[in-house]
Amino acid sequence: MQVDYKDCVALIVYSITFLLGLPANLLVLFVYVRKARKHGATPNVVYALNLCLANLALVVWLPVKALETLLQNWMLPAPVCPIYSFFLFPRCMPAACSSPCVALVAEGGPNFVSIKGDTLECYGNFNDTQLAVLLPLRLEMAIVLFILPLIVTSFCTLRCVTLVWRSNLRPMGKRRVLTVALSTLAVFVVCYAPYNASHIVGFVQHANVQWRMYAMLTSSFNVFLEPVVMMMLSPASSRGFMGRMCGRQSQFSRNKGGRHRVNSANGVANARAPQTLLERSQAGAQVTKESHE
């Protein structure tokens, strides 16, 4: 069995994504579940948990994708292919679960495992009738689910950057907001642009482009890049958790405790100051009285 260099790169990417994505998303899940119990299910928490669970659903199927890439063959039972496609391809394009469903209808059966040479292939080889249904659908999804959201997101992000830059926030607060906003936009473009570009090129060429499967590699980066952005949204919780994991207080806790100790010391000093002046005045009066005697 020979594996070309493109498949070797794909295997490396899938392995790194699995090794980084699984612990990162479990960490985010723990942090935000703990935050939801303390402060309630705010929109920020619900959004983060939704992304985290979607990432975990993709991470679970990455070993199957790596095995298929290594063997160049679909070795699992045919009924598993629709389930596998349902979890894998929709994550590469949000809300794109209609694509496997349409493929089911076009195939005329519940299992769309096709034969290519001496090997089986899951959702990768289509005839002209199936492509006539899939290619316009992919183009529509690329426009509605990527290009339009990209335009709206870019406008809102640039507007947010302008307002924050002109605001009176502290430099650290500005830096945090700008980092989160620009990182979110960059992750969206880097992860989803190649895969959606394959849909546009496929519609123009009226073919299922061969590099489409490799364009999915950048989409898998989203699994471990999104947790980084989500941890930026809750820096205090992440620093506190990492501090406890390392067996020491976080810098945030130390700074907070230091400020509390300074305020307490100032309060005690202020409370003792009048007593000290009173004692000095009484001692001075006593000395004056003794000198007169």
Spatial distance between the Cα atoms of 36 and 260, rounded to a whole number of angstroms: 27
Dump the DSSP string for 63-89. HHHHHHHHHTS--S-TTHHHHHHHHHH
Range of the domain at 87: 5-243
**Residue 237, C-beta contacts closer than 8 angstroms, at least 6 positions apart:** 31, 34, 35
pLDDT tens-place string over residues 164-194 = 888 888 888 788 888 888 888 888 898 889 9
Q: What is the reported pLDDT for 244?
A: 54
The one-character DSSP state at 96 is: -
Q: How many domains are contained in the chain?
A: 1
Q: Which two tokens stand for residue 220?
A: 């898998």
Asked whether residue 277 is domain-assigned, the answer is no
**Bridge partner list, 116:** 119
Give the CATH number of the domain where residue 60 resides.
Answer: 1.20.1070.10
Q: pLDDT per position in the chain (293 positions), as tens?
A: 566 778 888 889 989 999 999 999 999 899 889 888 888 888 878 888 888 888 888 898 888 888 888 887 777 887 887 788 777 765 555 434 444 444 444 444 444 565 665 667 777 777 788 888 888 988 988 899 889 989 998 998 888 888 888 888 888 878 888 888 888 888 889 888 998 999 999 999 988 888 888 888 888 888 888 888 877 766 555 455 555 555 554 444 455 444 544 454 454 444 444 444 445 555 555 545 455 45
Asked whether residue 47 is domain-assigned, the answer is yes
Asked whether residue 251 is domain-assigned, the answer is no
Asked whether residue 118 is domain-assigned, the answer is yes
Asked whether residue 176 is domain-assigned, the answer is yes
Residue 139 C-alpha from the chain's centroid: 26
Asked whether residue 252 is domain-assigned, the answer is no
pTM of the full structure: 0.68
Q: What is the reported pLDDT for 95?
A: 38
Q: Specify the DSSP element, H or E, that contains 122.
A: strand 119-122
